[in-house]
Amino acid sequence: MSAFDASSNVVEEDFPAAKPTSKPRSIERAELDSQVVGLQNRITELTSELSNVETERVQVEESRRRLSEFEMGRGELLSELTRSLGLLGESEQSSRREAEQLSRSIGDLREALGKVESLVDIDSRRDEWKLELTRGLTTLENARMELNAARIKWPQIHNPEPPAATSLADVPLMANPLVPQSFGQLCVIGLAVTWPLLLLGLAVFLYLITR
């Protein structure tokens, strides 16, 4: 027995038994916790970066929309302003020509009015009264021609139209007393018509009974 014990002690001294330890596991857990914290920080950074990118995208979209609105509005206004100026220019030229024609017409009418006002009564006792009459008639004819020409150019100086004659269709018809105007009048007329017939029938009936 002593020899066996001695040999076992020698084995234990040469090959000591390994004792359990928790140090490697503690190191692995700490590394994992550190990785988790690092990933969470990375997620936070990416989230913030994504928010910044989204904000920048919104700003870029807004800038693009405003740029498109600017370009479209500038094109539309250039076209509309050019067209409006062209139309107003044509209208101005037309109004200017019309004003010039109106001024000439006013001058011609004033001249004709002055000539007509300068006419005097014809004295048939004078020797040259026929010549004066011819001149007066010529002046009146020329003034009438000027007036007719002005009436053709300017419709606003036309003679007012005479009032239109009232047609018979526009005159309201008087109510006929024999024509019923309401349901009550119709009932009264019906009763007035049938009442003599009722009396005649009653008289015939009484006559037949008394016979």
pLDDT digits (tens, 9 = 90+) for 136-183: 899 999 999 988 988 888 888 876 555 555 544 454 444 455 555 566
Tokens representing 75?
């094109």
Average pLDDT, the chain: 77
pTM, two decimal places: 0.42
Instruction: Tell me what the mean pLDDT of segment 73-81 comes to.
Output: 91
Q: What are phi and psi of 191, to 5 degrees?
A: -65, -40
pLDDT top residue among 166 and 73: 73
| pLDDT at 119 > cutoff 90 | no
Greatest mean pLDDT range, 24-33, 57-66, 166-175:
57-66
Q: What are phi and psi of 155, to 5 degrees?
A: -65, -20
Q: What is the pLDDT of residue 15?
A: 47
- What percent of the chain has a predicted confidence (pLDDT) above 90? 26
| pLDDT band per the 50, 70, 90 thresholds, residue 26 | low
pLDDT digits (tens, 9 = 90+) for 31-56: 888 888 888 988 999 999 999 999 99
Q: What is the pLDDT of residue 211?
A: 64
Written as one letter, the residue type at 152 is I
Distance, in Å, from the CA atom of 32 to the CA atom of 135, rounded to the nearest integer, reads 129
Tokens representing 3?
């020899």
Distance, in Å, from the CA atom of 97 to the CA atom of 101, rounded to the nearest integer, reads 6
Q: What is the pLDDT of residue 183?
A: 60
Cβ–Cβ under 8 Å, residues 99 and 140: no
Tokens representing 121?
């009564």
Residues recorded for the chain: 211
Distance, in Å, from the CA atom of 124 to the CA atom of 128, rounded to the nearest integer, reads 8
| pLDDT at 58 > cutoff 90 | yes
